[in-house]
Amino acid sequence: MFSPTKAREHRVSPHLALIAVQLMFGTWPIVAKVVLRAISSTGLVAIRVGGAAIALSLLQRRLGQLRQLPRRDILWLVLVSFLGVVWNQLLYVKGLSLTTAINATLLCTTIPVCTLVISILLGHDRLSVRRMLGVALAAGGVIFLVDPFRADFSGQTMLGNLLIVANSLFYGAYIALSKDLFKRYGALNVITWIFVIGSVFTVPLGLFELPSAQMSVVSPLIVGAVIYTILVPTVAAYYLNAWALARVAPSTVATYIYLQPLIAFSLAPLVLGEHWHARTLIACVLIFAGVAIVTRRGRSQAVREVVERPDALAH
């Protein structure tokens, strides 16, 4: 018997997982800046993706044999891997090195919009005033937080800005297109294959950058930052994101991305000595209101299936 308590747990658990994902992803830019002192952007991506592929493969082997996917889904899996890992990682890290953190935060607000449009086209989401209002409200909060008038859109940062926009488009497409694979074959199994495939393309690129690495400045701090990057904002974050995506609508997963700027600004007092101010508090209200609107009751067909058909969880 599927009790109301268990039904509530299955409705709440994906959202708790998505909050944890944003906490992990929110620390990634800060840790990346530490690693980039010694390793190039391409080298960092190769280490992150290759290390995650190894860690996920070992975890999958310990928990159960890595299942092969049907041939009809191989090309789909490769496409998802390129969108969510190869192009997403390379474009974001390179773009971040060519533009400002404010620009990157501002431009990443396009991810939920891209996800919602693609998800509607695929039939995972339905166009509604509520969803559009929630996305717009949360986006407005982020834009207000980073203050676009402080953004630098000069020719010096234009290439980096374009790379961040392309990254946002690819990641939004990844969220929308990968949902069906996660539902059918399991989050851990699919995310492992995604990173294994991604490492085939990113690791060789990183090897070309290895000679330029400044090994003389590699310290225990940088080594620790690399290990953290692999295990926390990659292995743990990508898995929990995939697990949640199998249970809620892609637009819901994408909207939680708006929490990342708040997390970054929360860490600023500890890392940069900055302080919260009125602008931060107003943005906080707008972002949380937008997320709440998108994720309130009736949020996705996947959740309704869990409540109505408990056997849907048996996979």
Per residue of the chain (315 residues), give pLDDT as tens. Answer: 445 555 555 678 999 999 999 889 888 877 887 888 788 889 999 999 999 999 999 998 888 777 888 888 999 999 999 999 999 999 988 887 787 666 676 677 778 877 877 888 888 777 788 778 877 887 777 677 656 666 555 666 778 878 888 898 899 899 999 999 999 999 999 999 999 999 999 999 988 876 666 666 778 888 999 999 999 999 999 999 999 999 998 888 888 887 876 776 666 555 544 455 666 667 667 766 776 776 665 444 433 333 333 222 233
State how far the Cα of 80 lies from the Cα of 88, in Å rounded to an integer. 10
State how far the Cα of 83 lies from the Cα of 72, in Å rounded to an integer. 18
236-256 pLDDT tens trace: 999 999 999 999 988 888 888
- 62's CB contacts (< 8 A; 6+ apart) are none
Among residues 12, 286, 285, 24, the alpha carbon closest in space to that of 135 is found at 286
DSSP code for 66: P
Whether 99 contacts 229, CB under 8 Å: no
- Helical spans, DSSP H, in the chain: 4-35, 41-63, 74-81, 87-98, 101-107, 110-122, 129-146, 155-185, 187-209, 220-230, 237-245, 250-255, 259-271, 278-295, 301-308
State how far the Cα of 219 lies from the Cα of 48, in Å rounded to an integer. 18
229 SS3 class: helix
State how far the Cα of 288 lies from the Cα of 68, in Å rounded to an integer. 40
- For 57, how many CA atoms within 13 A lie in the half-sphere containing its CB? 13
Question: pTM value?
Answer: 0.78
Instruction: Calculate the alpha carbon distances from 39 to 93, 152, 188, 202, 286 in Å.
Output: 12, 26, 29, 15, 37
> And the tokens for 290?
């937008």
